[in-house]
Amino acid sequence: MNNNELATKPHYPILDGLRGVAAIIVVTFHLGEPLSTSNLDKPVNHGYLAVDFFFLLSGFVIGYAYDDRWNKMTVGSFFKRRIERLQPMVVLGMTMGAIGFYFTDSTLWPLIHTVPLWKMLLVMLVGYTILPVPLSLDIRGWEEMHPLNSVGWSLFFEYIANILYAIGIRKFSKTALSILVAIAAIALAHLAITNGDVSGGWTLNVPQVRIGLTRTMYPFFAGLLLSRIMKPARIKNAFLWCSVLVAVILYMPRIGGAGHLWMNGLYESVCIIIIFPLIVYLGASGIMQTQRENRVCKFLGDISYPLYLVHYPLVYFYVAWISNHKGVTIAQVWPYALLILIGAIVLAYAALKWYDEPVRKWLRKKLA
């Protein structure tokens, strides 16, 4: 099979742009986190829901791109294309995390300098595969699946969803897929309302893996279902309105406080189960009105994945600085946060042009 056969479908440029908007908000979420004491008072309170939005976008795009191509594509060729798309930036992100590991002097991570080099390199090599490391290899002390680049956990669950799609769920009828999505929605709402939020999924233990799977199953397969049933309208200014909706949802302060956790869980359930699919529908229905809008969406889409993978190694330095300057306020921190944000965007674009695109082009030839 020729790889070019699978590269002919047009993109949804507005969905690409929305992925970029959400990725930038993720960076601001991580920059606000060290100033909080818990999920209750995080400045970008619902920024972690961007991951659930990414899963929904991913399921939609996978369905759109591959559902009608299985007559000329094998499971193996599907995975080759997913590896070619995802792995180069995973490798770069883990390498960046490894390079910065010993330079983050902080009261948060007092044992970093006692970690032997072989152990850090082992964690990096496992990270290249995106397989989670066991808690015995938690070299940072945050109980992360990927201690060198925290965000790797969501890529692990992304791969699980891709595997489930390729080996079986792609064959589901619309009815069967609808039943699966409904069950997954109930599980997600139960998790959110009983916990007060859906935050979690980055630790290799049973409760956290359950959270990660629950956060993945509904949005990914709801996106797949949406790609199969939607009939696009023609909506003007969709990118603007959808971007505003995404920002409002992710920047929304905590609801209900410590006394009414279920209220926040209900808010997150409604956002993930109802509003996110609506946003994707509107974005997929939107029409581009100007070349400028098209260029903005393309730029945001292009940097979204590299930005997600390269920003956290920079955030580790920022977190270390804050932990070493106890009591700093947002007023004192924001110039550094802005510098990290701009630096991460520049680094993401450089990584895209000088690394990701060339490596993917080379891999396409090798895996063809």
pLDDT digit string, tens, across residues 208-230: 999 999 999 999 999 999 999 99
Instruction: Answer whether residue 122 shows pLDDT above 60.
Output: yes
What average pLDDT does this structure show over 266-277? Answer: 98
Instruction: Answer whether residue 205 shows pLDDT above 90.
Output: yes
Residues 222 and 165: beta-carbon distance below 8 Å:
no
For residue 53, the model assigns a pLDDT of: 98
Instruction: Answer whether residue 1 shows pLDDT above 50.
Output: no
pLDDT tens for 32-41 read 999 998 999 9
For residue 108, the model assigns a pLDDT of: 84
- Greater confidence (367 vs 274) lies with 274
* Beta partners for residue 286, in sequence order: 235
For residue 2, the model assigns a pLDDT of: 40
Instruction: Answer whether residue 5 shows pLDDT above 60.
Output: no
Residue 244: phi, psi to the nearest 5?
-60, -45
User: What does pTM read for this prediction?
Assistant: 0.96
Q: How far is CA 291 from the centre of its chain?
A: 28
pLDDT tens for 46-77 read 999 999 999 999 999 999 999 999 999 999 99
CA geometry: angle at 23 spanning 18 and 28, to 5°?
A: 125
Domain boundaries, the chain: 3-367
